[in-house]
Amino acid sequence: MLLTILDLVGIAAFAASGAMIGVQRRLDIFGICVVGVMTGIGGGIIRDLLLGIHPPTSLDTWPNFVTALLTSLVVFFAHPAVKRLAIGVVGLDALGMGLFATAGAQTALDHGAGPLAASLIGATTAIGGGVLRDVLVNEMPLLLHRDLYALPALLGAITVVVGSELGFTANTALVVGTVIATGLRYLALLLHWNLPTAPGAGP
């Protein structure tokens, strides 16, 4: 129950980030909803494609879709207010990222993926929606060049895989993995951590 609620919180946060970019690009209401919904449920769809879950869960689950759609509509009509909440959105997004990374890794393990595949698919679940969003609006994916984002997602997914190998319960691994992923992301945001670029790549 808690997981379902947190999952919807993550979807809403991702959808809000997608819809905000749609507003900035002056898309129409339908385009904003498309980008918002794809950002909210896109990571889960990619996960299900990789695991062979047909049709993808999020396409067949009303709460997931409705949450993403309603969030996009709220952003459309109230984007100035949502913008003032931007720190809240970034915070929710970090929570969603952690949850998606760990839940994605657990789903992959449940479907027979090995440890490497489960780690990579978990991270992909967390970052897939944002990559879809950026490709759709024709920008280089943010995760490739700003902030520490994909690394915490990968660490959260790895935590679940290692926890499973060590015999921890799924719930324990999910909580610990999410705390690690989301916490690391918060720290990176607070302390402006960045990873190095290549030495001597020029200005």
DSSP state, residue 198 = P
15 touches a copy of itself (CB under 8 A)? no
35 touches a copy of itself (CB under 8 A)? yes
Phi then psi for 195, rounded to 5 degrees? -85, 155
| Residue selected from 3, 9, 25, 70 as contacting a copy of itself according to rule CB under 8 A | 25
Instruction: Tell me how far apart the alpha carbons of residues 89 and 74 are, in angstroms, rounded to a whole number.
Output: 13
11 touches a copy of itself (CB under 8 A)? no
70 touches a copy of itself (CB under 8 A)? no
165 touches a copy of itself (CB under 8 A)? no
Token pair of 129 as six digits: 């929606």
Residue pair 36/72 in contact by the 8 Å Cβ criterion: yes
85 touches a copy of itself (CB under 8 A)? no
**Residues 6 or more apart in contact with residue 10 via CB below 8 angstroms:** 92, 95, 96, 97, 99, 100
Nearest to 157 by CA among 189, 111, 121: 121
Of 1 and 197, nearer to a copy of itself (C-beta) is 197
Scan residues 93-122 and list those touching a copy of itself (CB under 8 A). 108, 111, 113-114, 116-117, 120-121
The residue behind tokens 């944002």 is 130
Binding site for a copy of itself (CB under 8 A): 22-32, 34-35, 45, 49-52, 54-56, 59-62, 65, 75-77, 79-80, 108, 111, 113-114, 116-117, 120-121, 131, 135-141, 143-145, 148, 150-151, 194-201
